[in-house]
């Protein structure tokens, strides 16, 4: 698996580095130009969030394309690797991109706050609350990315298993069907509905954000950060079943 991961990292290194450099450059331009020209802080914040969201989406697409190429490449079939190694190597690649993007965003926040003094040390401490709160948020993000990637891999494998345009439509439909099926199952088993799409992160990350220049408030309702262990257990089983189904499809594809 490590050999596959190293190959994927080497193949995508140029693209990842280019995207990272562009992201940093654009964020610098937004921060510097915004403050020099006196932009509203809300505009700077909105542009920053949009840019990070775009890069995050692009990284997910890039990882998905990498997986698609891997399962289609004839040379990969000749390697003495288990099908599960193909899945986990791409999954780890997705985790790495997530960690790097998260690290860049945190560093950006720290540097920007250092120069602009938007939040004092006491406000930051109150915002974070405690280490468990931070760990909960990180877990939610990590869990959401994991579920997203394994769902994409199953949908992509289904798509590759069916020739023609029908395969593409089957892949798209299966992606949303898995999300809907998980949400329906959780509602039936737990007797709750919250408009979520099968991801833990969609249950507890609504942030009440109100910023006013020169003494605004930045609050997080910590009751929204609670994680239902029953939900985690259900989604963990779902993830295991998705990986198992993907392995079966890959083994069948190799036999054909």
User: Over the stretch 97-140, which tens digit does the pLDDT of each residue have?
Assistant: 989 988 888 888 778 777 766 666 666 666 666 667 777 778 88
- Structure confidence at residue 240 (pLDDT): 92
Q: What angle do CA 250, 73, 15 make, to 5 degrees?
A: 110
**Confidence (pTM):** 0.75
Q: What is the rounded distance in angstroms from the CA atom of residue 54 to the CA atom of residue 43?
A: 16
Judged by DSSP in three states, 39 sits in: coil
| pLDDT tens digits, 151-188 | 999 998 888 888 777 888 888 898 899 888 888 887 88
CA distance 110 to 108: 5
In this structure, the number of other CB atoms found within 10 A of the CB of residue 216 comes to 13
Calculate the alpha carbon distances from 236 to 1, 25, 161, 232, 240 in Å: 22, 38, 25, 6, 6
């Amino acid at each position: 698996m490590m050999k596959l991961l190293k190959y994927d990292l080497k193949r995508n290194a140029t693209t990842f580095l280019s995207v990272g450099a562009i992201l940093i450059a654009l964020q610098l331009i937004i921060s510097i130009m915004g403050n020099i020209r006196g932009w509203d802080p809300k505009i700077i914040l909105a542009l920053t969030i949009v840019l990070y969201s775009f890069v995050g989406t692009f990284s997910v697409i890039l990882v998905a394309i990498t997986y698609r190429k891997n399962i289609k490449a004839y040379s990969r079939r000749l390697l003495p690797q288990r099908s599960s190694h193909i899945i986990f190597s791409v999954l780890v690649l997705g985790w790495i991109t997530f960690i790097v993007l998260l690290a860049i965003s945190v560093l950006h926040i720290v540097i920007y706050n250092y120069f602009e003094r938007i939040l004092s040390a006491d406000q930051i401490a109150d915002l974070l609350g405690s280490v468990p709160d931070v760990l909960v948020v990180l877990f939610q993000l990590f869990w959401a990315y994991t579920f997203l990637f394994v769902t994409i891999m199953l949908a992509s494998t289904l798509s590759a298993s069916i020739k023609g345009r029908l395969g593409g439509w089957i892949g798209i439909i299966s992606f949303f069907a898995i999300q809907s099926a998980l949400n329906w199952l959780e509602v039936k088993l737990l007797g709750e509905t919250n408009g979520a799409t099968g991801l833990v992160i969609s249950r507890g990350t609504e942030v009440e954000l109100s910023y006013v220049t020169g003494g605004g408030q930045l609050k997080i309702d910590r009751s929204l950060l609670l994680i239902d262990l029953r939900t985690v257990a259900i989604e963990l089983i779902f993830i295991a079943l998705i990986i198992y189904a993907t392995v079966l499809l890959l083994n069948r594809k190799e036999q054909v």
